[in-house]
């Protein structure tokens, strides 16, 4: 997960995810990463990315920081 978060920071900006995003976006991205892994795509660490997206969704739900899509 740390590598996935570091890659995200490089791509989207340091701690960009803390600005919030719709939980359904997190869940959709997590699902897409799981599907890509199941299809055999090993171009990136899809399961780690899925875990990060799920962790972000949990964070937003627990902190009541859910934004509407």
Q: Which two tokens stand for residue 68?
A: 């509407």
Backbone torsions φ then ψ of 43, nearest 5 degrees: -70, -20
pLDDT tops 90 at residue 49:
yes
67 in any annotated domain:
no
Give Cβ neighbours of residue 3 (< 8 Å, ≥ 6 apart).
45, 48
**21 near 60, Cβ under 8 Å?**
yes
Domain residue limits at 50: 2-62
68 in any annotated domain:
no
For residue range 10-48, what is the model confidence (pLDDT) as tens digits?
A: 999 999 998 888 999 999 999 999 999 999 999 999 999
How far apart are alpha carbons 11 and 17 in whole angstroms? 11
69 in any annotated domain:
no
Q: Which two tokens stand for residue 38?
A: 């199941």
For the chain, the domain total comes to 1
**For the chain, how big is the Rg over CA atoms in Å?**
12
30 in any annotated domain:
yes
Q: So what's the pLDDT on residue 44?
A: 94
């Amino acid at each position: 997960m740390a590598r996935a978060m570091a890659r995200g920071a490089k791509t989207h900006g340091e701690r960009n995810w803390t600005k919030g995003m719709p939980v359904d976006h997190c869940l959709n991205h997590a699902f897409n990463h799981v599907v890509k892994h199941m299809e055999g795509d090993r171009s990136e660490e899809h399961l780690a990315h899925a875990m990060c997206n799920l962790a972000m969704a949990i964070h937003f739900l627990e902190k009541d920081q859910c934004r509407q899509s």
